[in-house]
Amino acid sequence: MIYSKEFETMEHEDLESLQIERLQATLNRVYRNVSFYRNLYDETGLEISEIKSIDDMAKLPFTTKDDLRKSYPYEAFAVPLRDIVRIHSTSGTSGNPVVVGYTGNDLKIWSELVARVLSAAGMTGHDLIQIAFNYSQSTGGLGFHYGVEQIGASVIPASGEEVLKQIQIMKDYRTSALVSTPGYALHIVSVPEENNMDPQELNLSVGLFGSEPWSEKMRIEIESRLKIKAFDNYGLSEVMGPGVAFECEERDGLHVNEDHFIVEVIDPETLQILPPGEKGELVFTTITKQGFPLIRYRTGDISSIVEESCSCGRTTRRIKRISGRTDDMMIVDGNNLFPSQIEALLFEIEGVEPHFKIILDRDEGLDIIELKVEVTPDFIAFDEIRKVQKFQNKIRQLLINRLGLHAKITLTEPNSLGRTDGGKIKRVLDLRFF
């Protein structure tokens, strides 16, 4: 079902004029209220009144995650703090998290945009929708929660409950739709199999998955094992959270909510805008957000724009499934992780070199992370097992405390990790998608 027909099936010309109106209003607001943007535009000598069409956007400088981190915590808000009614933060980033504030109106719009996502996946007011995203800090849990209420379905905020409990709820409450990471969906199926439970006993018919990249192969696996129809969706906390782009029943690319976000794809090296169909970095501009507007935000996610019309009736353009990252960011169980975070941590520990290798694998839907670390040449405890274990535990605990990361720690001899020509170690080995 198309939740918001007026906007989702708008004529292209009308949509474009709505976009330029809203973009200009947003630019006027950020110029007045956000010192970061005002300084940026003043430094580059840009008059925001020069932005007269969507094509003129190319004149606007980009915003990066680094810019937002420097604005920690509230510098990039465009309204006074007393107008903010909710604050989310991005998960596990190096340095400061990005803090995102929402006004009451932002939340209202957000709920409607998520309602579009749910409706496009066929969910209605009759559904019982279980949300297995952690509600803490990040946007997945509460973002979907409000959307479910918006369409009048029943929301089951299962959040981070452990998997057996999730399955129990699913069975007893007759959950009809699951919202989670795709990895978690696979994890859920693997468990009943262990316990001689039949996933067919469940009442599930739809799954809405996101917040980590997944493949068509994985979709087929989830669908056949859980006996559901699986949909992809895309969002990121900085831009809003879930509700940015979503699959319709055609499941051939993700429709962008273009009446609220302007999408561009750029070459991450030259920063030139790429034509539809060409792969590059996704860039988003928010045109209705009041609390935390973003102008040309570089997401680091790789995709391309699909311009051909979709047979579902929506006129909004689509983006292809996210196929990777422009940087070395990893997504582990739905949380973002940069190798630089681990490096920074290792610098603090006496006895190891900041030379390491991360091996990511997946077991029954859950991510497994192993960290191989080179010890310093003067590390002499190798012959004392208890000392080694104690040392490993110390690193392990530090990773949990600081990054929320449960990793297996392996200590290796100095210079034992393979280096490439430049003397650098290829730091990440991702086996999850094989």
Nearer CB in complex with other proteins: 55/363: 55
Nearer CB in complex with other proteins: 293/300: 293
Nearer CB in complex with other proteins: 41/214: 41
> Whole-angstrom Cα distance, residue 161 to residue 180?
12
**Would you give the binding string for other proteins spanning residues 376-405, x where CB under 8 A is met?**
------------------------------
Both tokens of residue 204? 């599930």
Nearer CB in complex with other proteins: 25/429: 25
Q: Which residues in the 20-59 window bind other proteins by CB under 8 A?
A: 20-22, 24-25, 28-29, 32, 49, 52
- Taking the complex as a whole, the smallest distance from the CB of residue 86 to other proteins amounts, in Å, to 14
- Taking the complex as a whole, the smallest distance from the CB of residue 12 to other proteins amounts, in Å, to 14
Nearer CB in complex with other proteins: 25/380: 25
Q: Which residues in the 274-333 window bind other proteins by CB under 8 A?
A: 288, 290
Residue with tokens 């690193």: 395
- Find the helix packing angle between 104-120 and 140-150, rounded to 10°: 80
- Rounded to the nearest angstrom, the gap between the alpha carbon of residue 11 and the centroid of all alpha carbons in its chain is 30
Q: How far is CA 363 from CA 386, 432, 434, in A?
A: 29, 9, 12
Please state the φ and ψ torsions of residue 23, each to the nearest 5 degrees: -65, -45
Nearer CB in complex with other proteins: 23/189: 23
- The residue among 204, 257, 247 whose CA lies nearest residue 227 is 204
> Whole-angstrom Cα distance, residue 253 to residue 245?
9
Nearer CB in complex with other proteins: 71/103: 103
Q: How far is CA 52 from CA 16, 27, 48, 170, 420, in A?
A: 12, 11, 9, 51, 48
Q: How far is CA 286 from CA 55, 256, 346, in A?
A: 16, 12, 37
- Taking the complex as a whole, the smallest distance from the CB of residue 101 to other proteins amounts, in Å, to 13
Q: Which residues in the 133-192 window bind other proteins by CB under 8 A?
A: none
- Taking the complex as a whole, the smallest distance from the CB of residue 52 to other proteins amounts, in Å, to 4
Q: Which residues in the 1-20 window bind other proteins by CB under 8 A?
A: 14, 17-18, 20
Are 284 and 261 contacting, i.e. CB atoms less than 8 angstroms apart? yes
Size of the site for other proteins (CB under 8 A): 23
- Taking the complex as a whole, the smallest distance from the CB of residue 41 to other proteins amounts, in Å, to 14
DSSP symbol at 63:
B
- List the beta strands (DSSP E) in 267-406: 280-286, 297-303, 305-306, 318-319, 324-325, 330-332, 335-337, 352-363, 366-375
Angle at 206 between CA 200 and CA 210, to 5 degrees: 120
- Taking the complex as a whole, the smallest distance from the CB of residue 257 to other proteins amounts, in Å, to 16
- Rounded to the nearest angstrom, the gap between the alpha carbon of residue 96 and the centroid of all alpha carbons in its chain is 17
Both tokens of residue 401? 């405390």
Nearer CB in complex with other proteins: 21/413: 21
- Taking the complex as a whole, the smallest distance from the CB of residue 80 to other proteins amounts, in Å, to 8
- Taking the complex as a whole, the smallest distance from the CB of residue 289 to other proteins amounts, in Å, to 11
- Taking the complex as a whole, the smallest distance from the CB of residue 16 to other proteins amounts, in Å, to 11
Nearer CB in complex with other proteins: 52/217: 52
> Whole-angstrom Cα distance, residue 275 to residue 238?
25
Nearer CB in complex with other proteins: 28/203: 28
Q: Which residues in the 76-135 window bind other proteins by CB under 8 A?
A: 79-80, 82-83, 103-105, 108
> Whole-angstrom Cα distance, residue 197 to residue 367?
23
- Taking the complex as a whole, the smallest distance from the CB of residue 78 to other proteins amounts, in Å, to 10
Q: For the chain, what is the radius of gyration of the CA atoms?
A: 23
- Segment contacting other proteins by CB under 8 A, of 75-83, 177-185, 292-300, 371-379: 75-83
> Whole-angstrom Cα distance, residue 345 to residue 250?
45
Residue 169's CB is within 10 A of a number of other CB atoms, namely 17
- Taking the complex as a whole, the smallest distance from the CB of residue 290 to other proteins amounts, in Å, to 7
> Whole-angstrom Cα distance, residue 107 to residue 407?
36
> Whole-angstrom Cα distance, residue 144 to residue 156?
11
Nearer CB in complex with other proteins: 51/114: 51
Residues of this chain that bind other proteins (CB under 8 A): 14, 17-18, 20-22, 24-25, 28-29, 32, 49, 52, 79-80, 82-83, 103-105, 108, 288, 290
